[in-house]
Amino acid sequence: MKLIVGLGNPGVQYEWSRHNVGFRVVDRLAEISRIFICAKRFKTLFGKGRIDSEEVVLIKPITFMNLSGEGVRKTANFFHLGIEDIIVIHDDIDLPFGRLRFKRKGGDGGHQGVRSIIESLGENAFLRLKVGVGRPPKEMDPANYVLAPFNPTERSDLDAIISRGAEAVVVLLREGINVAMNRYQRKNGTSQA
């Protein structure tokens, strides 16, 4: 069983923000896998089902970003899952818009949600799928940038990026990390057939 965590902030005011791209990828995974994320438990919304042959729990913490770790820890403990069973999907301002990158271990990169998960789990060896949202303009505070909505140009490409992120997770589960990395971390952002 894998625990797949989408990071974001609750509330309609953040629905289209860059910080909520993790929520959107998990929502797309739920949609293509027919998993309903509707149960409320452990300060998360979650749904349980299968992606191909892998049993999964999809969660969206309903605390704000800087408290995400509590729900992740409680859900992982309830299902007796280890650090190797956790996949966290989140935005990354250090990646160009639309780029995907898998990473295991490492620091939080300034991401409050990832920091909260590391602190709550007491280790950092969980797998992450980072979704690039690009750098803020020089005059803009990064915190304000990630809480702002995608601009109209980005919005026109967002659906394809969200779908590609969900596909990357499916390939990860089906064919392993090396295949997923080779297929979805390409510079031009396109996946191979």
CB 56 within 8 A of CB 173: yes
pLDDT at 161: 96
pLDDT at 190: 42
The residues, any chain, with a CB within 8 Å of residue 117's CB and separated by 6 or more, are 5, 68, 69, 72, 73, 88, 126
Assess if residue 21 is contained within a domain.
Answer: yes
Assess if residue 6 is contained within a domain.
Answer: yes
Assess if residue 193 is contained within a domain.
Answer: no
Active site residues: 19
pLDDT at 154: 92
Assess if residue 180 is contained within a domain.
Answer: yes
Assess if residue 104 is contained within a domain.
Answer: yes
| Domain total of the chain | 1
The three-class DSSP label of residue 135 is coil
Domain, as residue range, for 63: 2-184
Assess if residue 51 is contained within a domain.
Answer: yes
What's the pTM value of the predicted model, to 2 decimals? 0.93
Average pLDDT value over all residues in the chain: 92
121 versus 107: the higher-pLDDT residue is 121
Q: How far is CA 169 from CA 11, 46, 124, in A?
A: 25, 17, 19
Residues 159-188: tens digit of each pLDDT? 999 999 999 999 999 999 999 999 998 754
Cα 149–Cα 14–Cα 64 angle in degrees, nearest 5: 135
CATH number at residue 179: 3.40.50.1470
* Residue 49 exposed, middle or buried by CB count within 10 Å (0-12, 13-18, 19+): middle
C-alpha 36/C-alpha 82 separation (Å) is: 24
